[in-house]
Amino acid sequence: MKIENALKEIYGKVYTGKEIKLLYSYDATGQAGEPEWVVFPENEEQVRKTVEVALEEKIPVIARGAGTGQSGGSLPVHGGVVMVFTRMKRIEVLERDMVCVVEPGAITGRIKKEVEKYGLYYPPDPASFEFSTIGGNVAEDAGGPRAVKYGVTSSFVLGLEWVDGTGKLYRWGGRNIKDVSGYPVHKLLCGSEGTLGIITKIYLKLIPLPPERDAVLLRFSTPEEAGEAVLEIMRMGISPSSLEYLSEKASSLIGLSGNYLMVELEGGEEVEEGIRKIRERFGGEEAGIWEKRKKLSPLLYRLAPIKINEDVVLPRSQLPEFLRFLSKLEKESGVHVVAFGHIGDGNLHTNVMCEKRETGERVVVRIMEEVVRRGGSISGEHGVGIRKKAFFRLQYGESERELMRRIKKVFDPEGILNPGKIWD
């Protein structure tokens, strides 16, 4: 086949066996789409040439890291070429600039460990950071518990290099902490899920490694009380590095009883003072549950065999009433609605656990409608991918969708970059 021969000229080896195609056909959603060819680029020139070949043949090109995505963003739903970036994993720490230059296949956890050798810190910490790749984090604009203080992945992206849908290479931004010359075009790629370009290099901002860290666990009788406490904590002059919520049903799975907030602070001398203020206001106990919290997701299957995991985000002021809504919805629907997550920035994981998927999907529709009605968003960190396409119109009107389509056309005129994601 013409495209296969062209890819062999670029890579020497192209993978077409059923086993390897199956390996790169799915992600953490459990959904799948089989590619026709799998390749492993080692440099940006191979990426550029691959896109040129795909453009000539009008073949889809999908960038892939570790496959940890929760929205189907890396699934080859229309076949085509999957480019697996695990061989492009170089990390360069520019200590004096407090910048890290990385390739997209570098594991996020490895980046964090590498920069800490220099007394530096890369805060973003999605749940999968120990095995997810930084390219996927940028493409999905991943968050994590520490986003409440530091922001999501894009908050630390100073510059990008990428290949667009015509095979052209761009370099935007770089090692400068400030740069307001021209449009910040590279920021468009953060969260674009590989539909605007294929990232080949990333410039990350670093900060000094905080010397102190401490946490406290707060218990509340009702979800609404926990929601109100979030508002109060954020106005106390304290800047939590993490502010996590566990609903009563979530906490019961890890041996607790009640609605909980886990508040973590990191920094210098202010950490001890901040913990003291929180304890004086809310009481609290030692917060040695973080490892249990990380293991919560698989424990949900004790409730029901089917899990529909959503990651909605709302204005903080809406949290108490939204949590009340979830409790009411659970009683009305007869399915388990288990809420937990990064409540400090309004981001909640609403896990619908059910016996029949159709029943669960109806509950998800009601959740999404309520989120948008309250001024929230259908995704706080997982992205749209294929999982949330049906809800995209809830949040964005025709004018907004048309503008995004026009942007897509500029970056990818023939629509070969990760087609079928965000919208059709």
- Predicted confidence pLDDT, tens digits, the chain (424 residues): 789 999 999 999 999 999 999 999 988 888 889 999 999 999 999 999 999 999 999 999 999 999 999 899 999 999 999 999 999 999 999 999 999 999 999 999 999 999 999 999 999 999 899 999 999 999 999 999 999 999 999 999 999 999 999 999 999 999 999 999 999 999 999 999 999 999 999 999 999 999 999 999 999 999 999 999 999 999 999 999 999 999 999 999 999 999 999 999 999 999 999 999 999 999 998 777 777 777 788 899 999 999 999 999 999 999 999 999 999 999 999 999 999 999 999 999 999 999 999 999 999 999 999 999 999 999 999 999 999 999 999 999 999 999 999 999 999 999 999 999 997 7
Angle ∠(184,190,193) on CA atoms, nearest 5:
140
Chosen domain end from 329, 350, 373: 373
**Structure tokens that stand for 282 in this block:** 């809310």
Query: Is 93 within the bounds of a domain?
Result: yes
Q: Is residue 393 part of a domain?
A: no
Among candidate residues 166, 111, 108, the one with its CA nearest the CA of residue 138: 108
**Does some domain include residue 396?**
no
Strand 207-208, strand 120-121: pairing = antiparallel
CB 35 within 8 A of CB 82: yes
* 141 and 16 within one domain: yes
Give the pLDDT of residue 2. Answer: 87
User: Could you tell me if 195 and 249 lie in one domain?
Assistant: no
Q: Among residues 135, 154, 202, 152, which one has the least CA distance to residue 174?
A: 202
Residue 292 pLDDT = 75
**β partners of residue 243:** 263
CATH code of the domain in which 219 resides: 3.40.462.10
> How far apart are the two ends of the chain, measured CA to CA in Å?
28
Instruction: Write the DSSP string, 386-420.
Output: TTSGGGHHHH--HHHHHHHHHHHHHH-TT--BSTT
- Same domain assignment for residues 265 and 337: yes
Q: State the residue range of the domain holding 252.
A: 212-373
> Based on the structure, what is the number of domains in the chain?
2
| Tokens of residue 196, six digits | 């605007």
What is each CA distance from 179 to 81, 122, 187, 206, in whole angstroms?
35, 20, 12, 16
Is the same domain home to 196 and 236? no
Of 274, 206, 286, 218, nearest to 241 (Cα)? 274
Q: Are residues 204 and 271 in the same domain?
A: no
Beta bridge partners of 286: 216
State residue 299's pLDDT score. Answer: 93
Specify whether the CB–CB gap between 56 and 44 falls below 8 A.
no
List beta partners, residue 368: none
- Token pair 């995991």 is found at 309
Identify the pLDDT of residue 31.
86
Alpha helices per DSSP H over 108-218? 108-116, 134-140, 147-150, 186-189
Mark whether 152 and 287 lie in a shared domain. no
Element (H, E) at 331: helix 319-333
**Closest to 208 (Cα-Cα) out of 276, 123, 316, 149:** 123
Measured distance CA(210)–CA(119) in Å, rounded: 9
Q: How far apart are CA 261 and CA 224, in angstroms?
A: 12
pLDDT at 424: 73
Both 219 and 89 in a single domain? no
pTM: 0.95
How far apart (Å, rounded) are the C-alpha atoms in residues 361 and 368? 11
